[in-house]
Amino acid sequence: DSGVTQTPKHLITATGQRVTLRCSPRSGDLSVYWYQQSLDQGLQFLIQYYNGEERAKGNILERFSAQQFPDLHSELNLSSLELGDSALYFCASSVGGQPGNTIYFGEGSWLTVV
Amino acid sequence: AQSVTQLDSHVSVSEGTPVLLRCNYSSSYSPSLFWYVQHPNKGLQLLLKYTSAATLVKGINGFEAEFKKSETSFHLTKPSAHMSDAAEYFCVVSYSNSGYALNFGKGTSLLVTP
């Protein structure tokens, strides 16, 4: 158990809908990351937050947004969902946002868009 | 640009024989390098990491990796494979010059046969 908690574990929704994925980082970790894992794209970095502020942005679509709250939990919002958004979404956390900090991953949220 | 290449998409070994999973990276900056393992329907677990300290890095479950700057390689090895090692392995490099995002390789699927 990494200490990173993600909910829900599984989610099935229809195209055009909006979903919110939630992440609680490990106790004491200030940085949160979101990754998308799909068969065709592999593991892709979406976005990073550090202590409530956006730190780095990767291949995140404009239909997607995220935020980190004062209690350090984070949410990833996915809107106008398309079939291709079906994937495993990972949240991860680390103590800081520096290279070399160990990043711990949650078990992921499986999103299926039908 | 920083990227990582895993040279084999699938590796098959017999139980008790050595494991070699190959990884090459390209980086304009001093990299931080990691190996993660993903068992079926599980999250990502950190095996080991290199952050400019000792070039031979020992990880969990008997795995180790050697950082070779001249070859830009970070191959993962284990002297004797166990059935429980069957999983997907990811070589990862960090973006040390832009926040701290992990750049994942495509993954190597390790099959261990009796």
Q: Which of A31, A32, A46, A55 is nearest to A85 (CA)?
A: A46
Mean pLDDT of A12-16: 97
* Predicted local confidence at residue A97, as pLDDT: 72
Mean pLDDT of B36-61: 89
pLDDT at B98 over 70: no
Does A99 reach chain B within 8 Å, measured CB to CB?
yes
In chain A, the DSSP E strands lie at 5-7, 10-13, 19-24, 31-38, 42-50, 53-57, 64-68, 74-78, 87-94, 104-105, 109-113
Mean pLDDT of chain B: 89
pLDDT at A4 over 70: yes
* Predicted local confidence at residue B100, as pLDDT: 60
Does A49 reach chain B within 8 Å, measured CB to CB?
no
List CB contacts (< 8 A) between B42 and chain A.
107
pLDDT digits (tens, 9 = 90+) for A75-114: 999 999 999 999 999 999 999 877 667 889 999 999 999 9
In 10 A of CB A76, how many CB atoms?
A: 24
Angstroms from B91 CA to nearest CA on chain A: 11
Nearest to A107 among B42, B101, B105 (CB): B42
Contact assessment for residue A103 and residue A3, using Cβ atoms and an 8 Å cutoff? no
Per the structure block, which two tokens stand in for B65? 């990796």
List CB contacts (< 8 A) between A31 and chain B.
100
Rounded CA-CA distance A74/A51 in Å is 10
pLDDT at A55 over 70: yes
Angstroms from A88 CA to nearest CA on chain B: 10
